Structure 1
Amino acid sequence: MIEILNPEELSRARDTGALVGSILQSLKARATVGVNLLELDEWTKEMIADAGAESCYVDYAPSFGRGPFGHYVCTAVNDAVLHGMPHDYALADGDLLTLDLAVSLRGIAADAAISFIVGETKAPEDLAMIDATERALAAGIAAVRPGARVGDLSRAIGTVLREAGYPINREFGGHGIGSTMHQDPHVANDGRPGRGYILRPGLLLALEPWVMADTDRLVTDDDGWTLRSATGSRTAHTEHTIAVTATGAEVLTLPPSA
């Protein structure tokens, strides 16, 4: 399913995006050394409820997971990169943490992810990897315009990641979003320009570059959800929900101070 939102629905999407950005910023501030991943999940649950919103994750049970997910935020640490299930783990200095959050408010969903280093020990290679995903996301957003094709966005994202030296997994990537969290079209993190769905104003896309330091192969934890690098290498993941406008893209999930 591909949805094209009308102006009233886009207004609601802005509210949802602002909520997602705000919650992620709050979680990042709270994600200090010694904080447990389960505490982050509980705080997320409380903030979603306080906003009168609904989690897109807690009852999520797609074919690729061992569902339902049963938690409110994805917490991926170090070699984990996607669908990180919160568990009893206290954050340590130097951990590379990815928080991925999707929420629905008044019938419209938004989805975003951030990667950052916990504590004071910040390895240059980790910072470079996070920076590469952020630059790739910016390149993908810059390629958005009416009449562009999904492949144009994929190529823009992939060019940045490849030039930074990272292998690219094309199985999991960006996606359409709207009244539900995951919709068509799939937006791979590399691809051929001029191919795929033609973008139209009112389309919402969640663009999400992610990489693993030295592999493009994933392995799945025993929880049936958490995806890790096959080599145990570190990972990073950055995501925004954007709306296609008449002139380009509007980023909906920026934090309040951005």
Structure 2
Amino acid sequence: MTIVIKTSEDIAKMRIAGRLASEVLDYITPHVVPGVTTEALDKLCADYMRDVQGTIAAPLNYCPPGYTPYPKSICTSVNNVICHGIPNDKPLKNGDIVNLDITVIKDGYHGDTSRTFLIGDKVLPHAKRLVQVTYDCMWLGIDQVKPGAHLGDIGAAIQKYAEKAGFSVVREFCGHGIGQVFHEEPQVVHYGKAGTGIELVPGMIFTIEPMINAGKRELKAQPDGWTIVTKDRSLSAQWEHTILVTETGYEVLTVSAGTPPRPERYLLD
């Protein structure tokens, strides 16, 4: 396993890419309302990335081994979709939840972040709780990041909190190293045992992006080859930041004016 330790120049460019990815989410937020289609959201984001930011949408035509090229510029995962939902012409309904996953490329560097949105004013309490617990999970994972810590510390913190809430952690998809390559080492799983796994050192950059299910963790792939859903049709939520390991702790790279603040207290405290 080869982990690319970023130079100061790499880090400076990753800060820019991360901010730009987050700014796409800031831009699209007012448009994420009942009645809009995810296809319309995709077009708005694609136009903004291309025409305003001068960035490239990393997902468009992304084609890892064994896959067909991804056909859209963003991922839109609604309700029981865990990840990689393909934008379509179905309108969002009042009461839905949807994750928008954005990855941009700027000057050869990737910025990757996602947020889960509550659609309208009829989102049920159990769905709101799932989204909040998932947000807490991401931040609890981020809080583990510092030199000398281990990847297992991140997964253990997330798994403990999610399961305390009565939810489950998706295991087949995980966070990942990122830089000039979209997905690189290390893999950052969102479950596990503290004190295990790779030791963190300054200059590592990776995503933390827990996918938490309201029901069981089992999943299934849809015929389109990309969309992953919960097997029991329960709701799923996800949040994602890109994180730099610093000399003293961590820096969140996917930050912009509209980034939701870290929790002042955790829901289950």
Q: TM-score, normalised by structure 1?
A: 0.96
User: Aligned residue for 1:53?
Assistant: 55
2:74 aligns to what? 73
Following superposition, the deviation at residue 237 of structure 1 comes to: 0.4
Tell whether the 8 Å contact from 2:144 to 2:153 is kept in structure 1 after alignment. Answer: yes
Cα distance, 1:63 vs. partner?
3.2
Number of aligned residues: 257
In the alignment, structure 1 residue 256 sits paired with structure 2 residue 261 = no
Aligned to 2:264: none
CA separation of 1:84 and 1:198: change in aligned 2, threshold 3 A: same
Contact 2:26 2:258 in 1 (8 A): no
Cα distance in 2 for partners of 1:162, 1:110 equals: 29
User: What one-letter code is carried by the residue in structure 1 that aligns with 2:251?
Assistant: E
Question: How far 1:253 moved relative to its partner?
Answer: 1.0
Specify the alignment match of 1:178 in structure 2.
179
The residue correspondences of 1:152-167 to structure 2 (distance < 5 A) are 152-167=153-168
Find out whether 1:96 has 2:77 as its counterpart. Answer: no
Unpaired segments ≥5 residues, structure 2? 260-269
**Letter paired with 2:113:** A
Equivalent residues of 1:24, 1:255 under 8 A apart: no
| Aligned residues with identical type, % of pairs | 34
- How is 1:236-255 mapped onto 2 (pairs within 5 angstroms)? 236-255=237-256
Q: CA deviation at 1:129?
A: 0.5
* Aligned residue number for residue 20 of structure 1: 21
User: Aligned to 1:206, what secondary structure does the other structure show?
Assistant: strand
Q: Which residue in the other structure is 2:203 paired with?
A: 202
Paired with 1:75 and 1:210, the residues of 2 have a C-alpha distance of 14
Unaligned runs of 5+ in 1: none
8 Å CA contact 2:32–2:117 kept in 1: the answer is: no
Contact 1:18–1:256 (CA<8 Å) still a contact in 2?
no
Quote the offset at 1:201 in angstroms: 1.1
Matching residue of 1:62: 64
Deviation at 1:56, TM superposition (A): 1.3
Partner Cα distance (2:105, 2:174) in 1: 20
Counterpart for residue 216 of structure 1: 217
Which residue of the partner structure matches residue 129 of structure 1?
Answer: 130
Structure 1's consecutive aligned runs of 4 or more residues displaced over 4 angstroms after TM superposition are none
Give the partner amino acid of 1:52: G
Please state if 1:108 is matched with 2:109.
yes
Q: Residues 257 and 45 from structure 1, CA distance in 2 versus in 1: closer, same or farther, beyond 3 angstroms? A: closer
- RMSD value over aligned CA atoms? 1.2
Taking the aligned partners of 1:102 and 1:20, their CA distance within structure 2 comes to 6
* AA partner of residue 10 (structure 1): I
